[in-house]
Amino acid sequence: MFPSLRRSLRSPRKMDRLRRSFRDSFRRRKDRVPESSKPHQWSADETAVRSATCTFAVKYLGCVEVFDSRGMQVCEEALKVLRVGSGSRRRPIRAVLHVSGDGLRVVEEETKGLIVDQTIEKVSFCAPDRNHERGFSYICRDGTTRR
C-alpha cells in the first residue's frame, strides 16, 4: 500500500474524533453562563428596580406613534422625529423616570406632575439610542386605543 493511501484511510477516524470534540465543546458551553452576561455592576440596579427606588434624571421629549412593536431602528427613528419636532414645537421637559417591576413612571421635576404612567406589561421593547449617548426610548401599547 502507498503511504499517502494509508494516511487517507486513517484520516476519517481522526476527523470523526475532531468533529466529536467540537460537538462536545459546544454542548458544554450551554451549561456555563459567561461572567459578562450579568455584570456585577447591575446587581445594584436590579435591587433598586425590585424595591421601586430606581430613578433617572431625564429630559422628556414626548411620544410619537410607531407601527412596529419592536426594533432598534424604530426607536431611533422615533427619537429623530421627536428631536427635530421638539425644537420647533416645545422644549424638552426636565423630569424623573421611575423604574419598577410594575411599570415606568415619568414625573415632571419642578411641579411633580405625572407625565407618563405605563404598566410594564404594555412595554414591548426598549433600547438606547446608538447615535446619542444619553438617548433612550421604549415602545409600548397605548392604554386607550390599545395600539
Strand, coil or helix: 43: helix
Q: Where are the domains of the chain?
A: 3-32, 42-140
For residue 94, what pLDDT is reported? 92
Q: pTM of whole model > 0.75?
A: no
Query: H/E/C letters for each residue in 66-129?
Result: CCCCCCHHHHHHHHHHHHHHHHHHCCCEEEEEEECCCEEEEEECCCCCEEEEEEHHHEEEEEEC
Query: Which of 139, 137, 116, 117 has its CA nearest to residue 128?
Result: 137
pLDDT tens digits along 12-33:
666 677 667 666 655 555 555 5
pLDDT tens digits along 17-74:
766 766 665 555 555 555 555 566 667 778 888 888 888 888 888 888 888 888 888 8
42-140 maps to CATH 3.30.1330.10: no
Cell triple for 36: 459578562
